[in-house]
Amino acid sequence: MTEASRTTRLPDLDPGQAAELLERGEAVLLDVREPQEWAAGHAPQARHLPLGLLTPEAVPQDRPVIAVCRSGNRSGKAADTLAAAGRRVHNLAGGMKAWAHAGLPVVTDDGEPGTVA
């Protein structure tokens, strides 16, 4: 990969900005929380990949990624890792706590209302 084709970490997004990109199909939401956190509740359109299993190759390359965790800490680390590998990636500021606080949906795997654990 040439230096010109490498990208850096994109600006953090608030939940509203993230939801708009996701609604337009312009990004992928990647939840890096642990399995028990995911099971309690996640954004309906999210893909799950715990931080400990994260590799740049496991992440979609066709669109920017929005990394999310509970509070924005672990997803910030994920965003740094992906950006260092040349991926276009945002961090969701405030994580799933901010997502839920903004009134955006949180569901379980069976589509029932979920909680942020």
Instruction: Please identify every residue annotated as catalytic.
Output: 69
Pairing relationship of beta strands 89-91 and 47-48 according to DSSP bridges: unpaired
Q: Give the C-alpha separation, 97 to 94, whole Å.
A: 6
Go through the chain and tell me how many residues it has: 117
Q: Give the C-alpha separation, 26 to 48, whole Å.
A: 18
75 in Cβ contact with 59 (< 8 Å):
no
Q: Give the C-alpha separation, 113 to 107, whole Å.
A: 5
Helices (runs of H) and strands (runs of E) counted in the chain: 4, 4
